[in-house]
Amino acid sequence: MATIVTDSLSFQNGYAEVNGLNMYYEIYGKGKPLVLIHGGGSTIQTSFEKVIPLFAKNRKVIAVELQAHGRTNDRNTDSSFEQDADDIVTLLENLKIDKADFFGFSNGATTTLQIAIRHPQIVNKIILGSVLAKRSGVPEQFWGFMEQATLENMPSQLKEAYTEVSTNPNGLQVMHNRDAKRMVNFKDISDDKIQSIKVPTLIIIGDKDLITPEHAVEIYRQIANAELAIIPGVHGEYMGEITTLKSDFRESDLFAVPLIEKFLDNTAH
């Protein structure tokens, strides 16, 4: 593990052998662990660069890159949310972390659901940013779009971010294909599995999100100990995800951060 000092923030980074992967991670700050899980086609930075400095003021932030994403290699098997969940838990075991809070965005939120379902013993609280649990949670045309997905249609910010950090020239296409195939084959998470989640849960979406408000409400009602926030903006805008950034971006636009801080600090749960 190396320690890197940037203009604003020092952090440690490294790789861990995880279920056949050489998995990349970064650790910022000190305190209770908060694990950040990025969205599809993303890196740590494209999903979380704007919020990491804020979270790291009060807690230990552990950010990961999943199979075929960013600096983590591909294991030559299809991606699945269940496997991603198992990979993160194995990484935390390697880092000697026995309990953590988790904040997943988009695909990372679906992975966070799977962590809470499959490994409840490691979970303190979860934050689900724009989570998808059922195919009905997005407009029907989304699935047709995914079936026609090409690398050319991938947001340029995500493609550039991948090529900045990866040394694998073919990796971008591999990542795209893994994510597209996973979504085309997406299966609903059963009601009983969602209802099995007992940990405190904060669900966040944008009011113009890919995820429908109805889907967020459905999950909110299925998890006994849940809170729901619908925030003005598009998919990920509430946390400064890279494709949503505008030229007049200000830290005060990160509407999700004070909500998440309050949720994590609330001991009444």
- Sheet with 33-37: strands ordered across: 2-5, 10-18, 21-28, 60-64, 33-37, 100-105, 123-129, 201-208, 226-234
Residues in the chain, pLDDT under 50: none
Q: 86 and 19 in contact (C-beta within 8 Å)?
A: yes
**Confidence (pLDDT) at 8:** 67
**Residues forming beta bridges with residue 234, ordered by sequence position:** 208
What is the CA 132 to chain-centroid distance, rounded? 12
**Confidence (pLDDT) at 188:** 98
Domain range summary for the chain, segments of one domain joined by +: 2-265
Q: How far apart are the first and last CA of the chain?
A: 35
CATH H-level superfamily of 2-265: Alpha/Beta hydrolase fold, catalytic domain (3.40.50.1820)
**Confidence (pLDDT) at 7:** 59
| Per-residue pLDDT reduced to its tens digit, 95-134 | 999 999 999 999 999 999 999 999 999 999 999 999 999 9
**Confidence (pLDDT) at 269:** 55
- 29 Rama sector, left if φ>0, alpha if ψ -120 to 50, beta otherwise: left
**Residues forming beta bridges with residue 3, ordered by sequence position:** 12
**Confidence (pLDDT) at 74:** 97
**Confidence (pLDDT) at 169:** 83
Distance CA 182, CA 198 (A): 27
Four-CA torsion 195, 117, 216, 210, nearest 10 degrees: -150
